[in-house]
A and B are shown apart, each in its own frame.
Chain A
Amino acid sequence: MRGDHQTLALVLFSAFIVVTLAITTWVSRNRHGSAEEFYAGGRLFSPMENGFAIAGDYMSAASFLGISGVIALFGYDGMLYSVGFLVAWLVVLLLVAELVRNVGRFTLADVVAARMRERPVRIASGTASVTVSVLYLVAQMVGAGSLVALLLGGSGPAARTLTVIGVGALMVVYVTLGGMRATTWIQIVKAVLLMAGAVALTVLVLLRFHGNVNDLLVRAAAHSDYGKDFLGPGRAYGGSWSARLDFISLGLALVLGTAGLPHILSRFYTVPTARAARRSVVWSIGLIGSFYLMTIVLGFGAAALVGSDAVRTSNAAGNTAVPLLALNLGGGAGSTGGTVLFAVVAAVAFATILAVVAGVTLASSASVAHDLYASRRPRTKPRVPRQRRLRPSAAADGHSRAEPEEAEAGPRREPRSEVSVARYSAAGIGAVAIALSLLAQDLNVAFLVGLAFAVSASANLPALLYSLFWRSFTTRGAVWSVYGGLVPAVLLVVLSPVVSGSPDAMFPGVDFQVFPLENPGLVSIPCGFLAGWLGTRFSREPADPVAYAETEVRSLTGAGAV
């Protein structure tokens, strides 16, 4: 029987690959290689399309597999992920989406650098974006690995390694050939598939319990390791004080991290106006909210129908709870229904991973090419010499200030070569992510995503919010806030039990664990905000009021938006 669902899943998944490659070829049939097209898909997507694509980018396999898995193993504590992932969208909707669309061009660094000295800010912000993206990629590819390990049963590490490499290679193909346009359509297709899969499973779970949620919960508690306590908080993050702090840390990271995720921010540039960006967020909140409600049902459903023990036996971190649930809902191992459902779910999850991975890779390659590479390259035009660095200066300098984005796009870096740098860096980032994923194979994917969120909330969000809302924010403040969040976040992860000093660590053999929490957010997020404030206070040059006037007017009115 195993052979059957394997074959079917592979057929379905190959179909998805064929369709997505076809999309990639189709949308890139007459591409020009312009930056506008590669990073922002020409900015002509409708709010609904973009809303689906955002949801597709966001509802990663980590949510589908990871959250349901955590709920199946630990009950209520897993719900924090669902709630945090959704509430985070209020930060995006209220404080970020429209303003970023109005001020920026392709990346997060565009927004922060708009009123600062560009080079240091771009380098800082670009570095942070790439770090976040790589962590996020690792989470997705670990998910892919565990899925395949389940699909192919006993064939073990070789299959996982091959899958991770295969996923990495495919994403590089999508991104380099199709750019944002292809990536967006892949996200849309995937969002539809994923929603359909989740709805089907949720309906089946609820039907199994005749719509009685109470029965579902009682049964879930009975089949868990904790009895009645399964439905209350504290199973995953209870007991010791460090576990409780970890829960708070995770909660903070989830709610503040989304607004700093580079691949989410870059999605707002694919629509023509801020209003369209707002409406796409509304679409995505609707989709994401209903999706996370369903993951809760699926998680408890997996506990009730499959049982926590069976889930844990299959994958210690719980990542395979949903496929197992599908097998059960279809009639159990050996039945046709079970085989079909299992294959469908596995294929959908796989498609999800591919799509998200493509989206994140695109965003990070944009950061490398548009932020890092472009600011490191020597400037060729005589127009941009020392003067820019001495801002604010005479009125003559006013002109380079006036429309920094437009003024610089042309002379300093030809978009075409920047785009080819982006294509190469997509391949490079792919390679790094593959290597790290092979190391991190046994970590829960929802947890890994939690880490990416923590780094994003510490390094990206403070700089972003300060530069949009704080009049006196300076270049030094921006640089300090990025590094002041990034360095503690990464350092604390390295010193945490995730990397060493515990049996489940990445390197279980060694012990240089100092920091007790798995998620660094509780410390590193305040660090980022504090560093931004300190940097601004200790700036020698005051903030440029002209630049702030421009950012503020542009952010709220959309004047001068690209």
Chain B
Amino acid sequence: MDMQQGREAAAVRPDGPRYGARYGAGGADTAPAGDRTEDASPAGVPGPRREVPRAYTAADIYQEVQSSAAFLEVRGRYRGFVVPAAIAFLTWYLAYVLAATLAPGLMAHPVAGAVNVAMIAGLAQFLTTFVLTWAYVRHARLNRDRAALELRWTVLDRGVGQDAGRGRAS
């Protein structure tokens, strides 16, 4: 997992220091400065030379990737988990809120000693939140992260890769 994180971090910007150089150390100056030049350059510096062809391609790449099977798979997995999960927890939460207003008698019904249904339901909300968090993270790690990372490489390889090639040529 850590290894993957490292790779991912490196992928953010192939040329930029990420986790490796923490601010505060000597790397402090390079990280933000590097970002800034990188951000400003496409439009700021030599203009048309790198801008027009690259950007045209980038728009194409995004559309191409969007309709690729790999991306549809990642999106499907993401939405396949998130949509039902969101509907489920929102419904459960709304039921909890509505029960307190529409059926206060039921909610006040004692279960054990002074503990009543309302308290149990409230604590169950905490519990389901923790469980769903765990499930989501696990699902993302097992089913989505690797494929998403590959796709990011695809975009980077085509878009930024070409750019780098031009950079060497000039």
Contacts and interface: CB of A to CB of B under 8 A. Distances in A.
A558 B137 contact: no
Contact of B101 (A91, A181, A244, A552): A244
Nearest to B132: A90
9 contacts: A41-B23, A90-B129, A94-B86, A218-B114, A231-B119, A383-B43, A395-B56, A399-B58, A403-B55
A44 B115 contact: no
Contact of B104 (A34, A44, A233, A276): A233
Contacts of A285: 129-130, 133
A234 B52 contact: no
B66 A234 contact: no
Nearest to B108: A232
Given A403-B55, A403-B58, A406-B42, A247 B75 contact: no
B33 A83 contact: no
Contacts of A561: 12
B55 A409 contact: no
B42 A231 contact: no
Interface in A85-105: 86-87, 89-91, 93-95
A79 B118 CA distance: 10
Interface of A: 27, 30, 32, 34, 36-37, 41-44, 46, 76-77, 79-80, 82-84, 86-87, 89-91, 93-95, 181, 213-214, 217-218, 221, 229, 231-234, 237-238, 244-245, 247-248, 251-252, 255, 272-273, 275-276, 278-279, 282, 285-286, 289, 292-293, 296, 381, 383, 395-396, 398-403, 405-411, 415, 545-546, 549-550, 552-554, 556-562
Contacts of B58: 398-399, 402-403, 560
Given A233-B100, A272-B9, A558-B152, A76 B119 contact: yes
Given A90-B132, A282-B137, A398-B56, A560 B155 contact: yes
Contacts of B31: 42-44
A interface majority secondary structure: helix
Nearest to A77: B100
Contact of B62 (A79, A231, A415, A550): A550
B62 to A, nearest CB: 4
B71 A401 contact: no
B interface majority secondary structure: helix
Nearest to A384: B43
Interface size class of B (residues with CB under 8 A): 35 or more
A556 B29 contact: no
Contact of B19 (A44, A247, A398, A406): A44
Nearest to B9: A272
A63 B130 CA distance: 20
Q: Which 9 A-B pairs have the closest CB atoms?
A: A232-B108, A399-B55, A410-B40, A559-B155, A402-B55, A251-B97, A233-B100, A410-B44, A217-B114
Contact of B114 (A231, A251, A410): A231
Contacts of A276: 5, 9
B168 interface: no
B129 A89 contact: yes
Given A234-B108, A402-B62, 20 more contacts: A44-B31, A46-B19, A76-B118, A76-B122, A90-B86, A231-B118, A234-B101, A248-B98, A272-B12, A279-B137, A396-B52, A398-B55, A399-B51, A405-B39, A546-B62, A556-B74, A558-B8, A558-B148, A558-B149, A562-B39
A49 to B, nearest CB: 11
A556 B101 contact: no
B104 A214 contact: no
A42 B34 CA distance: 11
A408 B43 contact: yes
Given A80-B100, A552-B66, A556-B78, A86 B129 contact: yes
A32 B8 contact: no
A278 B140 contact: yes
A34 B129 contact: no
B118 A553 contact: no
A516 to B, nearest CB: 15
> Which among A46, A181, A395 has the highest number of chain B CB atoms within 10 Å?
A395
B7 to A, nearest CB: 10
A552 B100 contact: no
Contact of B82 (A95, A405, A546, A559): A95
A91 B96 contact: no
Nearest to A89: B129
